Amino acid sequence: MSTAKKLSLKENYALLTRGLGWEPSYQPKEEIFRTTRFEGIKIHDWDKWEDPFRLTMDAYWKYQGEKDKKLYAILDAFAQNNGQFNVSDVRYIQALKIFLTGISPLEYASHRGFCILGREFEGVGPRIAAQMQAIDELRHAQTQIHALSPYNRYFEGMSDFTHQADRVWYLSIPKSFFDDALSGGPFEYITAISFAFEYVLTNLVFMPWMSGAAYNGDMSTVSFGFSAQSDEARHMTLGIEVIKFLLEQDPDNVPIVQKWIDKWFWRGYRLLSLLAAMMDYMLPKRVMSWSEAWEVYFEKNGGALFDDLARYGIRMPKYADVTVKEKGHVGHQLWATFYQFRHAVGFPVWLPSEEEMDWLSERYPDTFDKFYRPRLEHWRELEKQGKPFVNTTLPQLCQVCQWPLLFTEPDDPTTICVREESYLGEKFHCCSDGCRDIFRDEPEKYVHAHLPVSQIYQGNYFLPDADPSAPGFNPLVEALRYMGIQPGVDGGDFAGHADAVNWERWTGRPASMHEPMQTAAPAPDRKTA
């Protein structure tokens, strides 16, 4: 009796991708796949796109099932052994709040985007790849939420993250990034996410930051990070293959793709600047500085990438030189902003200790002592006098990236960078030449940006039960209530914060490994904590 010949990997891949496609009979492809044509991209042969991994859905479930079993076993062990109390200190957990509220919702947004690509791409190969990445992104959102759930049981500011993701002012930065990408066409979306974000920039999230999690004893976070990294390697491959596919299909695609690379590199850079503050100021035990990470993961790796793409006519992203000039500044500028507005953020904020400032001085010898240490020391002195500095005004936001206008001129760190544009008789403001260029290219899109500060001034950031005519009405308190931020519970000063007090009671260790104990309360039995 003869046995059926086992299919080769190539044959199996062909059957489970292109073999599942069909030619339409009663509707032209132009009507079925409308969105692949309005961006100006020309595709002559969809079959030229190849998945280097030859991944099919049957193999996907097998591989990911085994991987997730191991991941959830680690997460459960972490929770059962009270791993949330074994991290370096409670300040580290404040960084996780930013990750949960700022990064995890992006995974779900990415899932939505790749679901769209799985419908809109005309080629079966990229359509299948997009569908599997959509599942990846949904899994990432789920595993991140699960991994961080032990912290939510003990610490403030994590239980209402879905509400905060849509309303808190600094979370509009990541949200606007994906809203922008999702409202573009399918080719722009995949260039923005799979190439500019995943291939060029995402290593900054999954390498130095996850290494920092491991160094600070957080095996829950590092486990889901490294589990996701194996998926990210495939996503990065998809990104580079898509770019090469577009560039090889028609020379007219080159300037379109270059414009998108310029735009989304800058937008991704502005978004990931958030990591600069997290790496430089929020990790109790630091692995590397933001400046060092940027040198390794963009300047060196990105430089090699764009050297390779030069043969297609692609150059380095516009304003890449500006990022090199800013790498010694952005983290300090962002942390100073969070400190000034700590009453309006979802995590407590602190000033670095002398030990930490010495580390920053060592890592930033040309900038920290000259521009930033004097300000931090001045604010520390004000705290000692019982007069801590707080900025009670509302900042002007960039119309594109939605950061407050906090970044300085690339060649003058003493001057705030402001770019003003006019459109249909109205004035708009941008934080940089990069954001201004993006605005100029599509002003009709960005004039509709949902800016939290503008919404507050217009009275749109109040809950239905708020009464502006009531005696003693405080618009700031009401805006924070709308955002889901409880003054004194979520944000505010780290010293005296509930997380800090409880940590010292529960563990008998200082809330900050760089500062002495805030309380003299003895540590209770862990069973009763």
Residue 13 lies in a domain: no
Strand partners, 412: 409
Residue 112 lies in a domain: yes
H/E run at residue 415: strand 412-416
Residue 38 lies in a domain: no
Strand partners, 515: none
So what's the pLDDT on residue 522?
55
CA distance 115 to 159: 28
Residue 130 carries which side chain, given as an amino acid letter?
Answer: A
So what's the pLDDT on residue 399?
97
C-beta of residue 522 within 8 angstroms of C-beta of residue 294: no
Buried b / exposed e along 378-397 (16+ C-beta atoms within 10 A): eebeeeeeeeeeeeeebebb
So what's the pLDDT on residue 2?
64
Indicate the number of domains in the chain: 1
Residue 179 lies in a domain: yes
C-beta of residue 228 within 8 angstroms of C-beta of residue 44: no
How far from 442 is each of 45, 113, 428, CA to CA, in Å? 30, 21, 13
C-beta of residue 105 within 8 angstroms of C-beta of residue 174: yes
So what's the pLDDT on residue 526?
43
Q: Which two tokens stand for residue 241?
A: 């293959």
Residue carrying structure tokens 């007219």: 252
Per-position DSSP letters for 160-190, written without gaps between them: THHHHHTT-GGGHHHHHHHHHHHTS-HHHHH
Per the structure, the complete domain to which residue 130 belongs is given by: 57-483
The one-digit pLDDT tens for each residue of the chain (529 residues) are 567 778 887 888 888 888 888 889 999 988 999 899 899 999 999 988 878 788 888 888 898 999 999 999 999 999 999 999 999 999 999 999 998 898 889 999 999 999 999 999 999 988 988 999 999 999 999 999 999 999 999 999 888 888 898 899 999 999 999 999 999 999 999 999 999 988 888 888 878 888 899 999 999 988 888 888 888 888 888 888 889 999 999 999 999 999 999 999 999 999 999 999 999 999 999 999 999 999 999 999 888 889 999 999 999 999 999 999 999 999 999 999 999 999 999 999 999 999 999 999 999 999 999 999 999 999 999 999 999 999 988 899 999 999 999 999 999 999 999 999 999 999 999 999 999 999 999 999 999 999 999 999 898 999 999 998 999 998 888 999 999 998 778 999 999 999 999 999 999 999 999 999 987 555 445 444 4
Residue carrying structure tokens 């010949």: 5
* Residue 7 CB neighbours (<10 A): 12
Strand-strand pairing, 412-416 and 419-423: unpaired
CA distance 254 to 248: 9
So what's the pLDDT on residue 502?
95
Percentages (nearest 5) of helix, strand, coil residues in the chain: 60, 5, 35
Residue 70 lies in a domain: yes
CATH number at residue 436: 1.10.620.20
Residue 140 lies in a domain: yes
Q: Which two tokens stand for residue 202?
A: 């995402």
Q: Which two tokens stand for residue 372?
A: 């930033």
Residue 36 lies in a domain: no
Cα distance from N-terminal residue to C-terminal residue, the chain:
69
C-beta of residue 510 within 8 angstroms of C-beta of residue 89: yes
Residue 228 lies in a domain: yes
Segments in 315-473 forming alpha helices (H) = 320-326, 330-340, 354-363, 373-384, 433-441, 443-446, 452-457
